[in-house]
Amino acid sequence: MGIPVLYKDLGLMDYQEAWDYQEILFHDIKNVKFRNFELPQCEALSKMNFLIFCEHPHVYTIGKSGKDDNLLINENQLKEKGASIYHSNRGGDITYHGPGQIIGYPILDLEDFGHGIRSYIDNLEQAIINLLAEYGIHGERLDGATGVWLDTTIAGKTRKICAMGVRASRHVVMHGFALNANTNLDYFNYINPCGFTDKGVTSLQKELGKEMDVEEVKQKLKYHIAKVFDMDLDLDE
């Protein structure tokens, strides 16, 4: 029997709205955890972990270690592209989110899963790598960078297919990953993705030469995340 995790698919949701929703769940988990420190075990409050999937309208987000000059267009050009920008409290630099991209926000107490932050990221990357293998794509880790990459040893060919950025406090995490499925990759041309100027970005659609069934990809991705973390996923109807 795995660790209970509530799965929610929020569909297409504004970035700020999704961020606010995450913050509520994140602080609820932390508050219950802290209260349980003071209660006898027989009176412990129940605590739920969450796995959230969604998509966002065109948006750029800059993490805590990000630099504004990695955005290569001005405010007027952003409006022309129908995009917005946010400074996020996740780790990492700048990235793009948009339709056709699967956003995953695991909101978890890592102590429930026996993980620290580094092993958590490793396992999240492994779930994506395992998913890609189902489609015949060899995903890899890149030294000095988070996320999942392709062709890491071939100069000029290295490209990212899944970005990651996490916020952690007292072993509770939020934010997560962005997997490019049918993503419009043109939007990455207006930033230095994750701060890199010498590496590219790709998607399942580009690598496989066909439009992906995003719902199918989500189902496979859910399976691999649950398997790697020993989750028992409950569907929130």
Domain count, the chain: 1
Which residues constitute the domain of residue 160? 3-235
DSSP designation for 198: S
**Cα(212)–Cα(214) distance, rounded to whole angstroms?**
6
Q: 42, 54, 162, 194: which one is catalytic?
A: 194
**Cα(94)–Cα(97) distance, rounded to whole angstroms?**
10
Nearest-CA neighbor of 95 among 20, 15, 150?
Answer: 15
Q: Which residues of 144-160 are buried (b: 16+ CB within 10 A; e: fewer)?
A: ebbbbbbebeeeeebbb
Residue type, 64: K
This prediction's pTM: 0.94
Q: Which residue has the tokens 């309208």?
A: 57
DSSP designation for 208: H
pLDDT string in tens for the chain (237-residue length):
799 999 999 999 999 999 999 999 999 999 999 888 888 887 878 889 999 999 999 999 999 989 999 999 999 999 999 999 999 999 999 999 999 999 999 999 999 999 999 999 999 999 999 999 999 999 999 999 999 999 999 988 999 999 999 999 999 999 999 999 999 999 999 999 888 878 899 999 999 999 999 999 999 999 999 999 999 998 764
Please confirm, yes or no, whether 42 is among the known catalytic residues.
no
CATH code where residue 105 lies: 3.30.930.10
